Amino acid sequence: MSLFQKSTRKFCHLFTFKGLFASDIAIDLGTANTLVYQKNQGIVLDEPSVVARIKEKGSYVPYAFGKKAKMMLGKTPGEIEAIRPLKDGVIADFKSAEEMLKYFIRSANTKLTVNKPNIIICVPSGSTPVERRAIQDAAESAGANEVFLIEEPMAAAIGAGLPVTEPEGSMVVDIGGGTTEVAIISLGGIVYSRSARVGGDIMDEAIKSYIRENHKLLIGETTAEKIKKSIGSASLPGESNKEGMMVKGRDLVSGMPKEMLLSEHQVAESLIEPVHQIISAIKTALESTPPELSSDIVDKGIVLSGGGGLLRNLGKVISETTKLSVRVADDPLCCVALGSGKVLENMDYFSHVLFKQD
């Protein structure tokens, strides 16, 4: 055998051996969606944070996750239930969250491996030590070698490309499914943060309540989400705007299926309170910001991330209230996942933003 053939065979064996190792991953474990970033691969999974469970011998056993489970919301027979194991950004059902994480980790690492991956997982800035420990434990139980935590607004700011390690203030508002994270960041740390339990889920619930109270029509969670994404707005439109959509549900008076036309004005009216809560959290953060950092924010403005940042006219309403410029991040839905992915790719540089919960 020639020297070249020996070298080639040795390289192939080394390559095959390396292929047996699981890639480290970063997880944006959200109330509405979970995104998984794999080292050197980018975002490899984007699934709804939903678990479908079936009742067996008196207890529920998870059997479907993600998109498949979300399709079952509100449509299951008695022995099956579809649930969201996270509420307000933290774990509400530990067993289901653990099983869901196991499924997502397996989906990200499809090859047979000889080791467990290291995992970075995002937590809300306002979560308690107990809540953070629950998320850390769930990731460890789901098959992690070592688990590191990162606060969501820090990950969002890194994902949005803000100069978080520089001696200048940056303000990020991450509006997720369960929480709105407002943070002032400078020199690689969070100077001030505020977590408000308001987000996309509260907006959906506000739309459902408005339609139920004003039109005696009962609609489901999925329908409310479609309404928000289609004609939702943070500000009341002018009279000339006649945009609307047909909504189907159950008439609370007759009990019969019913269809009605819902206008953009009505949806905006239903969202007044959630939008007000988000603006209130932003104003409180600005009032608590040190003067030197306030001057930086005047120059640079506010960056919105998260799915809630896509609500029509939200940036405009925030700008009118605060008198600051507001922009939506380039990829708001993936900001937190991309930011935690950057940290994963540059662990030495960003090690100071990672921590473990004792």
Known binding positions for ATP: 31-33, 177-179, 225-228, 307-310
Radius of gyration of the chain (CA): 23
Per-residue tokens: 289:
């910001």
For residue 245, list its beta bridge partners.
262
What residue numbers does the annotated binding site cover? 31-33, 177-179, 225-228, 307-310
Residue 128 Ramachandran class (φ > 0 left, ψ -120 to 50 alpha, else beta): beta
* CB-CB contact of 35 with 45 (8 Å): yes
Q: What angle do CA 89, 294, 150 make, to 5 degrees?
A: 30
62 Cβ contact list (under 8 Å, min separation 6): 51, 52, 53, 95, 96, 99, 100
How far CA 13 is from CA of 9, 103, 117, in Å, comes to 6, 30, 22
Q: Cβ(265)–Cβ(200) under 8 Å? A: no
Q: What is the dihedral of CA 341, 344, 350, 351, to 10 degrees?
A: 140
CB 185 within 8 A of CB 155: no
According to DSSP, residue 67 is labeled H
Rounded to whole angstroms, the Cα distance separating 338 from 157 reads 10
